[in-house]
Structure 1
């Protein structure tokens, strides 16, 4: 994992912690896996799934009764991200405050990251 020793790779707000714990308890799940997949108008979309166990090489972040599992391919893109849960008049949902995002679509459903040096996208 791309982390600083002694600090969590992602942070979870108290509101997100409560919601993740509720979701886990409701399905008797091990945790909430977050990842990324290609898609959306900006290029990448966040994914979230309740899982029964962590897979090899996944990073696990525990906070209170909440557990977030970070998929290996998403780890470098999610480092430093704050996970929040917001409730408004018309909608409620998780929000990712990710310092690695360079662009996002207008609806906020998809994001873009700078190409990594040495990757095909950087050529």
Structure 2
């Protein structure tokens, strides 16, 4: 079981946490929503909860609740710039389908 980050994602998270002045890493999860059933959640985490699974890649901690891990195992988190837009991208090998609007997915 593993969650990994590309160099670009790790650099972005590290820079943001330093600017923010606090935080232990990012919290990754899934929520039920959208056309296809599941959507990714990503937020900066200030502390590790007792139930969190903790992965570390390129010096960045990724915290995941055990329920979400089943849907996210093997995911690579990337940070990309496409034209004027920039943001995190999830490369999840378990993803079977994604809705047309790109907001949700199915495993």
Q: Same fold (TM over 0.5)?
A: yes
Q: Following TM superposition, by how much is the alpha carbon of 1:49 offset from its aligned partner in structure 2, in angstroms?
A: 1.4
Higher Rg: 1
**More contact order relative to length (CA 8 Å, sep ≥ 6):** 2
Q: Report the counterpart of residue 68 of structure 1 in structure 2.
A: 62
Please give the secondary structure, in 2, of the residue aligned with 1:34: strand
Contact map agreement 1:21 1:67 (CA 8 A) in 2: no
Q: Following TM superposition, by how much is the alpha carbon of 1:81 offset from its aligned partner in structure 2, in angstroms?
A: 0.7
Contact map agreement 2:5 2:58 (CA 8 A) in 1: no
Q: Which deviates more, 61-70 or 85-94?
A: 61-70
Contact map agreement 2:7 2:58 (CA 8 A) in 1: no
After TM superposition, the runs of 4+ consecutive aligned structure 1 residues lying more than 3 A away are: none
Where do 5+ consecutive residues of structure 1 fail to align? Answer: 4-8, 114-123
Deviations 1:1-59 (A, max 9, x none): xx2xxxxx111100011111122222211111000001111111100111111112211
Normalised by the length of structure 1, the TM-score is 0.79
1 CA distance for matches of 2:45 and 2:73? 21
Q: Which of the residues 3, 10, 13 maps onto 2:3?
A: 10
Q: Report the counterpart of residue 96 of structure 2 in structure 1.
A: 102
Q: Report the counterpart of residue 82 of structure 1 in structure 2.
A: 76
Normalised by the length of structure 2, the TM-score is 0.90
Superposition RMSD on alpha carbons, in Å?
Answer: 1.3
Where do 5+ consecutive residues of structure 2 fail to align? Answer: none
